[in-house]
Amino acid sequence: MVNRSTGAERRKSGTALPVEIWVLVGAAFTIAIGFGLVAPALPQYARGFGVGVAAASAIVSAFALMRLLFAPVSGRLVQKLGERPVYLGGLLIVAVSTGACALAQTYWQLLVLRSLGGIGSTMFTVSSLALVIRMSPPAERGRVSGIYSTSFLIGSITGPLVGGALAGFGLRWPFVIYAVALLVASYIVYAALKNSALALPEVAGDTPIMTFRQALAERTYRAVLWSNFGNGAAVFGVRMALVPLLVVEVLRYDEALAGVALTVFAAGNAVVLFLSGRWSDRLGRKPFMVWGTLICAIGTGALGFAPNLTWLLVASFVAGFGSGMFTPAQQAAVADIVGSGRRGGPVLAGFQMAADLGTVLGPYVVGLLAERVSYGFALGVTGVVLASAGLVWMFVPEPLQRKPLAEVTTRPTERDT
């Protein structure tokens, strides 16, 4: 087995990233493409059990809700067991529960199985971020975050396209294909990390642990939580829930154009996502956090006032461009806060929970505003949330240049809440 010191040397050497990071990037692509494959089919699949639209939508909400509720547990599991077993365990839970969805005979079976998938999802999300932070050279964190985010983006774009090609085979097949792909990805990750010095579990007694309470005492971490809440609400929640309705019910266009608007958002992301991560390593996280959230806010707010398709597509592109600016910098900022010499499972879990909370609350609250006031007002409020995050970031320290805090060793079993 390769010794631990070799892993340390590899972290400090040159600009070539460790192969283990590329394995995680490939796994992230597989996860994203599979999620994009299943997500469009899921509501229709649920409706096939004779339930209404609200019940079908609850299948999607249950997945996000379980991610939110189980995130603190995932953080503690990473703290006690290490990143690798939690990551692999999460992948296997999602794989088995997703495959079982294809065999569901009732709506309630589908609801329970999809909820279990949410538990596995937050396990590998928190642990993969922890692994990436620990494996990334400190000077390359923004670049790695950009690559990692780009893999998710490409997978998310490709998934629905593959799903459309498989539509003729029935609604159960996407679940089967996704389950098999996850099992394959689990084996590849297991084989790649099995003898890796970088992925070796750290000795808890020798490694300081940053608790959620310690991180929350920092203004930068509080800013990260707020911006990630806005990211979850606007980018993952409101955009997916309201933009298709805006296209069909307000602008009176065909449903297919809703997919075009979402694709244009992804295109705006793709233009800058990789480069913004690399540049944030040189220029700092704050410029990308401030300008990215403000640009995304402008684009999001403008969507609600779109009088025609051209306006809608331009606003979608602008919102995607802004999102692509701040997403890698935000993940890199979390890595800066935790640092290379500490473990931060609860800190990463809190970061993930902020986005999940936004994803759960955003569509519901903003949907009520759209229903009772207008789409323009609702999306304008969403833009204000994002803009407020940019304003908050103007007044916090730059994470990339911050002096490391005095390391406070915490027992692994100590509660952080």
Task: Report pLDDT digits (tens) over 26-63.
Answer: 888 888 888 777 876 777 788 888 887 667 767 777 88
The CATH H-level (homologous superfamily) assignment of domain 207-402 is MFS general substrate transporter like domains (1.20.1250.20)
The predicted structure's pLDDT at residue 6: 42
Concatenating the DSSP letter of every residue in 337-374 gives HH-TTSB-HHHHHHHHHHHHHHHHHHHHHHHHHHHHT-
Residues of the chain with pLDDT > 90: what percent? 30
Residue 405's pLDDT band, with cuts at 50, 70 and 90, is very low
Give the tokens for residue 408: 């406070």
Q: Would you give the end-to-end CA distance of the chain in angstroms?
A: 38
- Flag whether pLDDT at 408 surpasses 90: no
Concatenating the DSSP letter of every residue in 39-73 gives TTHHHHHHHTTT--HHHHHHHHHHHHHHHHHHHHH
Q: For the residues 313-333, what does the mean pLDDT come to?
A: 93
- Flag whether pLDDT at 165 surpasses 60: yes
Radius of gyration of the chain measured on its C-alpha atoms: 21
Give the tokens for residue 20: 């283990």
Tell me the C-alpha distance between 90 and 174, whole Å.
Answer: 19
CATH topology of domain 17-197: Growth Hormone; Chain: A; (1.20.1250)
Task: Report pLDDT digits (tens) over 237-262.
Answer: 777 777 777 887 888 887 667 767 87
Residue spans of the domains in the chain: they are 17-197, 207-402
Q: For the residues 323-333, what does the mean pLDDT come to?
A: 91
Tell me the C-alpha distance between 326 and 320, whole Å.
Answer: 10
Task: Report pLDDT digits (tens) over 85-130.
Answer: 899 999 999 999 999 999 999 999 999 999 999 899 889 888 888 7
Q: Give yes or no for a contact between 181 and 90, defined as CB atoms under 8 angstroms apart.
A: no
* Surface-to-core class of residue 259, CB atoms within 10 Å of its CB (0-12 exposed, 13-18 middle, 19+ buried): middle
Look up tokens 């079993």; give the residue.
413
Name beta bridge partners: 410: none
SS3 382: helix
The predicted structure's pLDDT at residue 205: 53
Long-range contacts formed by 213-219: CB under 8 A, 24+ apart: 213/416, 213/417, 214/347, 214/405, 214/408, 215/337, 215/338, 215/344, 215/346, 215/347, 215/350, 216/350, 218/337, 218/405, 219/395, 219/396, 219/397
Residue type, 256: A
Give the tokens for residue 290: 């401030």
The predicted structure's pLDDT at residue 212: 86
* Surface-to-core class of residue 15, CB atoms within 10 Å of its CB (0-12 exposed, 13-18 middle, 19+ buried): exposed
Cα atoms found within 13 Å of the Cα of residue 394, Cβ hemisphere only: 8
- Flag whether pLDDT at 404 surpasses 50: no
The predicted structure's pLDDT at residue 352: 86
Tell me the C-alpha distance between 163 and 174, whole Å.
Answer: 7
Counting runs of H as helices and runs of E as strands, what totals does the chain give? Answer: 16, 0
Common-topology check for domains 17-197 and 207-402 = yes
Residue 288's pLDDT band, with cuts at 50, 70 and 90, is very high
